[in-house]
Structure 1
Amino acid sequence: MWAGRAQAYEASFGRLCAHPVPRLLDAARVTAGTRVLDAGTGTGSAARAARERGARVRAVDADPDMVARARGHGIAAEIAALPELPFPDGEFDAVLANFVINHVGRPRAALTEPHRVLRPGGRIALTLWSARRGAGQELLGRACAAGGAVPPPHLPRLDPAEDFPRTPEGLTALLAEAGFTEPEAAELEWEHRACAEEWWGGAAAGVATVGLVLGAQDAGTVVRVRAEYDRLCAGFAADGEGRLVLPHVAVLAAATARPPLSRRRPG
C-alpha cells in the first residue's frame, strides 16, 4: 500500500493526517525530555512535532521509503512494524500511533507491544478514522463508486475476528483489552483544505486504500472516476484561496500503561 509512495503521501494525505498531532502530543503528555516512540511514523510529522517540544524521539515504520523520508527530516527512524518492536521493555515514556492502528492486520496484538515498551505509568496516544465519516472523507470513494470502479480482489482486508468498532467506545475497549488503564477517547472534527488536484493526486499516485482501488482500474474507468470526482467537487465550498473545504472525523484516544503484576502493591 505504501511502498514507493512516501513523497506522494507527504504531498497529499500527509497534510491531512498531521492535523491532530498537537492534540495527540498533549494526550501523550509529551514535553521536554520525554522519551517518545512514534510507531508508524510515516514521513515523521508527529515525531518532528515531539522533537520541537524537546522530547527525545525514536520512530519506526514498516516501509523503507517512509523511513528514508523521516530520516531526511532528521528523525531517528528505523524499519519495524507493529506488533513487533525492536526495543526493550519500559524503554519509553510515551508512544504515539497517528492513524496506524487502522492499517495493521492484528490490532489487538499491535497494542500489546506499545504497552510492553512503555514504562509503568507511561502514556499511549493514537488516532484512527471514525466510523462516522465526514463528507470530505467520502469524496474520493463516492467518485470511485459513481465511476464504476471495482475494488480489486487483492485489496487488504481485516479478519472480522480482529475488527472492532471504530468509535470512542470501541477504541477505549481495545486499549483496556491490551492492558492499559484509564482509557479515554473522543471524536475530532475538522475541515481539511486542499485544492482539487492535490486531493486527487494522492489517490492517483496509489496512496492508501482508495489509491489501490483507483490503480487497479482500466484507463476508461479512471477517466469516468475523474469526471465524477470533478462533478462531486462542485458540491464543496471553496475557501478564499480556491481550496476545497473537506470535513473529516477521527477518533483520538489515550491511556496509561499498567505496571507489571510483580510491581503492583498488594491490595
Structure 2
Amino acid sequence: MTSATEAFDAAERTMWSGRSEAYAGSFARLCAHPVPALLDAAGIGAGTRVLDVGTGTGTAALAAVARGARVSAVDADAGMVAAARTAGVDARIGVLPELPYPDAEFDAVVGNFVLNHVGRPRTALAELRRVLRPGGSAALTIWAGGRQSGMELLGRACEAAGAVPPDHLPRLAPDEDFGRTAEGFAALLAEAGLVDARCAEVVWEHRPTAEEWWSGAAAGIGTIGLVVTSQSPGTVVRIRREYDRLAAELADGEGRLVLPHTAPLGSARRA
C-alpha cells in the first residue's frame, strides 16, 4: 500500500464519520435509484445468500431482503452500520479490501457506489471474488467520469463564490485509477479475475428540493462537501447565495431541481 493510497482511505474514513443522518436526508435518495437494476444484475431472488458491501444506511440490503434473499451487509463507518441495523439490516463493520467472511460464502455480492470510496479498487474486487461461491455473481455501480449535473451545480456555486479547494481532498493514486466508463469498468472487473464482465449505464433524473440537495454538501458529504465545509463562514454564505441563483435555472416549477445523472452498472461472476 502506498502513502497516496493510505491518505485516500484515511480521507474517506474522515469524510463519512458521523454523517450517516445527514447522508440519509440528502444524497441517499440519489444513490438509491439504481438499486433495483443492481439487484437484477446480480440475479438476487428468494433464498439468495447476498453480501451488500458499503451498505450505507442499508438501502440495497433492505431491497434484497424484500425479494426474499438472505442478506448480510458491511460498511466501513460505524454510524452507517448502526443506521442500517436500526432499519433491520444484519450489518457489521467491514473495511475493503478485507472482509470478515470465509471463502465462497455468498451467492451474490453487490456494492452500490462503494468502489468510488476505496483506495485499491482492484484489490477490493479481488476480495469480493474471494467471498463469492463458484458461479456466484457480483454487481456494482460507480459514478461515471466527467461532471454529474448535481455535483456540477454545487461546483459552479463554489467557483462563483471564489472557494479554494483544500489540500486534503481524497485523490486516488494514478496507478489505482481506472476508466470511469462502461468499457473501463468492465475491464476492471475482468482484471480482478471475474468472468463474463459486462457493463451498462443507468441514466435518470434526480429531483430533490434545492434545500435537500444543498444539505448534503453543507454537512460535508462527498468531495464537494469537503470543499464547502473547509471554507470560511463568509465564503460559505457566498457559496449558498450563488447556489440559490444557479439552482433556479434547474427548477421544474414545482419546487424541485431536475438533475440528470449517469452511473455505470457492472456485473460479472466467479468462474
Give the TM-score taking structure 2 as reference length: 0.93
Moved over 2 A (4+): 132-137
Deviations 1:215-260 (A, max 9, x none): 11001111111111011111113153x11111111111100112xx
> Does the alignment pair 1:104 with 2:118?
yes
Map residues 68-147 of structure 1 onto 2, 5 A cutoff: 68-147=82-161
Aligned mates of 1:239, 1:33 — CA distance in 2: 45
For 2:249, what is the secondary structure of its paired residue? coil
Structure-2 residue corresponding to 1:180: 194
Structure 2 gap segments, 5+ residues each: 1-14
Q: Is residue 258 of structure 2 the alignment partner of residue 250 of structure 1?
A: no
Structure 2 residue matching 1:194: 3-state secondary structure: coil
In 1, distance between residues paired with 2:69 and 2:133? 16
Equivalent positions of 1:141-160 (< 5 A) are 141-160=155-174
1:199 has 2:248 as partner:
no
Query: 2 CA distance for matches of 1:184 and 1:142?
Result: 34
CA distance in 2, matches of 1:187, 1:154: 31
Distance, in Å, in 2 between the alignment partners of 1:223 and 1:153 is 21
SS of the equivalent of 1:12 reads: coil
Q: How does 1:1-80 map to 2 (within 5 A)?
A: 1-80=15-94
Identity of matched residues, %: 66
Aligned-residue offset at 1:101: 0.3
Amino acid at match of 2:202: L
Q: Secondary structure, in 3 states, of the residue corresponding to 2:187?
A: helix
User: What is the Cα deviation at residue 144 of structure 1?
Assistant: 1.2
Q: Aligned letter for 1:27?
A: A
* Stretches of structure 1 lacking an aligned partner (at least 5 in a row): 259-267
**How far off its partner does 1:48 sit?**
0.2
SS at match of 1:244: coil
Alpha-carbon distance between aligned partners in 2 of 1:56 and 1:239, rounded to the nearest angstrom? 43
* Separation (CA, whole Å) in 1 of partners of 2:78 and 2:115: 19
* Aligned-residue offset at 1:155: 1.4
SS of the residue corresponding to residue 266 of structure 2 reads strand
Q: 2:177 aligns with which of 155, 163, 172?
A: 163
One-letter code of the match for 1:61?
D
Change (3 A) 1:208 1:134: closer
State whether residues 202 and 265 of structure 2, in contact with CA within 8 Å, keep that contact through their aligned partners in structure 1: yes
Q: Which has the higher mean CA deviation after the structures are superposed, 158-167 or 230-239? A: 230-239
Calculate the aligned-residue CA RMSD, in Å. Answer: 0.9
